[in-house]
Structure 1
Amino acid sequence: MNVKMEVSYQTPKGTQTTLNSDEMRVGKAILIAEDLERTGRAKNVTFIDSHENTWTLKELKIYMKGIQTEPHNVTVYFDGGFDLKTKRSGLGCTIYYEQNGKSFRLRKNALVEELDTNNEAEYAAFHLGLQELDLLGVHHLPVTFVGDSQVVINQLNGEWPCLEEELSKWADRIENKLDQLGIHPHYQFVSRKRNREADQLAAQALKEIEITSTIEIPLDE
């Protein structure tokens, strides 16, 4: 979860002001707030999440302690590729998450034959990511979904209408799954270059190279 900080600050001579931070990860925000409080000049530190909910430092610490044993700070990269000649689709997703003080990367791909367009393959890749989140036990958390498909990203975030019947069915399926898991989605469009892991997984699926792996990675990677 990402939050912004609002801090009432007072100088040694009594001058007061209110400081507002950029959005940052919860763990970083807690560290900064604790450091500010040690100065004795920061008062009324408030945290604001992406849904405009407000938290005290104590509440945020309790929340973080409660989720440490579950996957959190989750980001899903997805990509789908469609081979017009063979009518087969390659789906790929890479999931980054933290759990028990460690950071992990999950990679998964799949080869499917029942789709008809590249846009359907992109939606199916997103749905593959959701299925993996379900298996991980991710629920009632914010999750960032990253892809290089403007169609999928802009239709799911409501910026573009979804007029094609098949894509509308995929969008409904995804939104129902998000509701079922209690996931609060954040959508991010990136270039194919920045989505290369998921793109490679989709390409490998089309070559019938099956990938299913989870590895621990450095926390700052």
Structure 2
Amino acid sequence: MIKIHVKLINYLAAALFVCGLGMPISLAAEHNTSDNTNHNTSHNKSHEQDFAQSHNHHSGLQAHVHGEAELTLVLERQQLHINLAAPAESLLGFEHQAHSQREKNIVKQVVTHLSTLDHVIKFKANTCQLTEQHIDTNSVMPITPTQKQTDRAEHAEHAEITASYEFACQRPKQLTSISLELFTHFKRLTKIHTIWLTEHQQGRQVLTPSSRVLSLR
């Protein structure tokens, strides 16, 4: 199975930018409304450098804010890539190593939710089919003792959970919006900062429990 990580999302975003998407959008700024940018074929070297610096710096969560998460979406021809990254506390209620059986059960429940597509996103129509997914909870419940020792040092202060999905979309032009269902199953989530790119447009939007539909137009 191919594991789709943040680095791959950033690579695809960079590839789309080089093809002429124009100035990239930084995840650093917080926006309450959708901010879409039409296809721009005129770009220069300084823009490319800005893009590279932005994505090198923002490869993970922009700021470790409890109750928030980030979602990146890239649509390239008929391939849709989605990456979710959230502080463990936003999904679990804690961000230390899971020790008790209760904490381990909570982690397993979160994995079940993130592995159930309808608990994460819903398409307006049967537009795309899931082909790959990967849920990473190693920061709170490592798979092996070696990972446990390494992750304990790396995630002593802040733990993250990531989920990556890859879809095959037979009718990508019909993909105009996506509903985020995470708010239904993760009550601690109050905001999801999103950034999306297609071959013709790019945009960003902050989603909330009362406004959970991501518009791709």
Give the alignment's TM-score, normalised by structure 2. Answer: 0.30
Q: Which has the higher strand share?
A: 1
Greater length-normalized contact order (CA 8 Å, ≥ 6 residues apart): 2
Q: Which has the higher helix share?
A: 1
Give the alignment's TM-score, normalised by structure 1. Answer: 0.29
